[in-house]
Structure formats: C-alpha cells, structure tokens
C-alpha cells in the first residue's frame, strides 16, 4: 500500500516508520493514524520483522493531535463517524499492545501526544536538538493518551506533576537524567545509533522479546509475589520451545544462535 502521511522502510529485521507531516509538525491526523494502524497490523503479522522503530521527518517527532481536526470534530458533533479522539484511542491501544519491541527515535519537538507515543516505547533515543514535554495545559487541553497516568510512572510523581501543571518543555538531556530517554546523540548520528540498538535486540529470540515485554508490563500492575510466580511460570513454559534449546545449544557449542521464534 502507498502511504501519504507516513514513510515505511525495512532495514534488516527492523521496520522503520516515519511520521511524515513535517509542515504540521507531524501532528496526529485521522489519516496519519489510519495509515499507522495499517502498517502496524502488517508488521505484527510479518515474522521476518522483529522490531519496530518510530521516528519523524522534519523539525518535530510529533506535536500531538491535529487541533484543527479536533475542533472540526467538535463543530460537527456526533455524526456516526470516528472522531480524531476515537482514532487516537485505537492507536494508543495498538501501541500499548504491540508484541514486538518498539524503539522511538526522537528527531525533533516531542510534546503532548508525541510524548504519549514515546511513553509506549520500550527504548527512547533522542537527538540533542530535541525538546520534550507534556504541554497540554498550555492549550487548555487534558491529556488523553496516558500523559497524566503514565508520566508519573516514568519519571516520578513530583516531576510529573510539575511538568503537567506548568506545561514546561525541557531538553532531551534533562529527560535522560530523569531516566526516560536512554541516550542522547547528535542529530546526524541518531538513525545510526538507533539502528545499532535495533540490530542488537533483533538478534535475540522473538519469543523472549515478546515475553519480556509482557512480564515487565504485567508485573507493574501485580503484587511482587504474583509477578514473580508469573515470571517463573513463563520460564517453565519457555523451556519447551525451540529457541530455549537453541540458545543453550549455541552457548555450549560456542556459536551464534539461530532463533526461529517458536
């Protein structure tokens, strides 16, 4: 399929998706969201792809929802069509449930819905030119994609409250200090640095990657005892897989493993 508001490329075992509305700061339109959902569905069904990288074109990663479209939806009122907020809800559900590792490569301004997208990632890498913040309060808008709920879990309740209430937009280096951004690199090195991480992760067992994501996510909402039991049960089940035996066999034979994902 030909996409108009995203760019989709395959690099080895990684799928790279770029938000491509640079004049609109890659704000989330219904069309962009629809295209993004379609390509994510395709990627989930492709066993050759083991990891997803999401980035943007132009000066922004994503400046949040397209406020013009949002206002148009409000003016139209209920008309039986999906609103921008309905589409956004579907997108965040998909990103949260993505079984494959997700790296977000922040190339530029990341605010509001852009930050909320970044918070669905497993790894965040940013250009040294990037500024990040929630910013909803600056426009009299509430977060709707996890901003108020996930940000305290990511950077701590006091920092999160301050940023949510003030709407401050801070450099990526500060967010690295907060533990949210894994690394900050020059704009020229961003894609190369991210691809190195992608190659490293993609070499691992797809089964292990999927289960690690699930165990970490589920464990945050469980008691410690329950989470530990679930982790041990997952390991016991995993010992019956090809990848488990392949990994141990490769270690014993002193060779690189060839994981199959089953």
| Residue extents of the structural domains in the chain | 6-202, 206-253
Which residue shows structure tokens 């922040």?
106
What's the rounded mean pLDDT across residues 231-235? 92
Q: pLDDT at position 79, please? A: 67
Whether the pLDDT of residue 74 is over 90: the answer is no
What's the rounded mean pLDDT across residues 33-48? 94
What are 160-210's pLDDT values in tens digits? 999 999 999 999 999 999 999 999 999 999 999 999 999 999 999 999 999
Q: Place 77 in a pLDDT band, splitting at 50, 70 and 90.
A: low
Per-chain mean pLDDT for the chain:
92
What's the rounded mean pLDDT across residues 141-151? 92
Closest CA to 201 of 254, 260, 106, 123: 123
What's the rounded mean pLDDT across residues 31-43? 95
Backbone angles phi, psi at 135, to 5 degrees: 75, -5
Paired sense of beta strands 102-106 and 109-111, if any: unpaired
Predicted model pTM? 0.89
Whether the pLDDT of residue 260 is over 70: the answer is yes
Q: How far apart are CA 228 and CA 215, in angstroms?
A: 9
Paired sense of beta strands 6-11 and 14-19, if any: antiparallel
What's the rounded mean pLDDT across residues 229-242? 91
Q: pLDDT at position 258, please? A: 85
Q: How far apart are CA 201 and CA 71, in angstroms?
A: 41
Domain at 6-202, CATH homologous superfamily: 2-enoyl-CoA Hydratase; Chain A, domain 1 (3.90.226.10)
What's the rounded mean pLDDT across residues 65-88? 81
Paired sense of beta strands 170-171 and 131-133, if any: antiparallel
Alpha helix (H) residue ranges in 7-104? 30-44, 67-76, 84-97
> What percent of the chain is modeled with pLDDT above 70?
98
Q: pLDDT at position 68, please? A: 86
What are 95-136's pLDDT values in tens digits? 999 999 999 999 999 999 999 999 999 999 999 999 999 999
Q: Place 80 in a pLDDT band, splitting at 50, 70 and 90.
A: low
Q: Place 252 in a pLDDT band, splitting at 50, 70 and 90.
A: confident
Cβ 60 vs Cβ 37: under 8 Å? no
Whether the pLDDT of residue 75 is over 80: the answer is no
């Amino acid at each position: 399929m030909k996409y108009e508001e995203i760019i989709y490329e395959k690099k080895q075992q990684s799928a790279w998706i770029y938000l491509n509305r640079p004049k609109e700061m890659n704000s989330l339109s219904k069309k962009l969201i629809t295209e993004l959902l379609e390509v994510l569905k395709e990627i989930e069904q492709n066993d050759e792809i083991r990891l997803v990288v999401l980035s943007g074109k132009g000066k922004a990663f994503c400046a949040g929802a397209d406020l013009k479209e949002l206002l148009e939806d409000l003016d139209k009122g209920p008309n039986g069509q999906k609103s921008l907020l309905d589409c956004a809800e579907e997108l965040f559900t998909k990103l949260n449930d993505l079984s494959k590792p997700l790296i977000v490569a922040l190339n530029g301004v990341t605010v509001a819905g852009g930050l909320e997208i970044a918070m669905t990632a497993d790894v965040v890498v940013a250009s040294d030119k990037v500024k990040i913040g929630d910013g909803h309060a600056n426009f009299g808008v509430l977060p709707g994609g996890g901003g108020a709920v996930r940000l305290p879990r990511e950077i701590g309740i006091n920092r999160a409250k301050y940023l949510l209430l003030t709407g401050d937009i801070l450099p990526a280096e500060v967010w690295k200090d907060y533990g949210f951004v894994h690394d900050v690199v020059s704009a020229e090195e961003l894609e190369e640095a991210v691809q190195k991480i992608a190659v490293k992760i993609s070499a691992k067992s797809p089964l292990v990657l999927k289960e690690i994501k699930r165990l970490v996510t589920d464990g945050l909402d469980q008691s410690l005892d329950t989470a530990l039991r679930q982790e041990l049960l997952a390991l016991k089940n995993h010992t019956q897989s090809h990848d488990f035996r392949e990994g141990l066999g490769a270690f014993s034979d002193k060779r690189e493993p060839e994981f199959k994902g089953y």
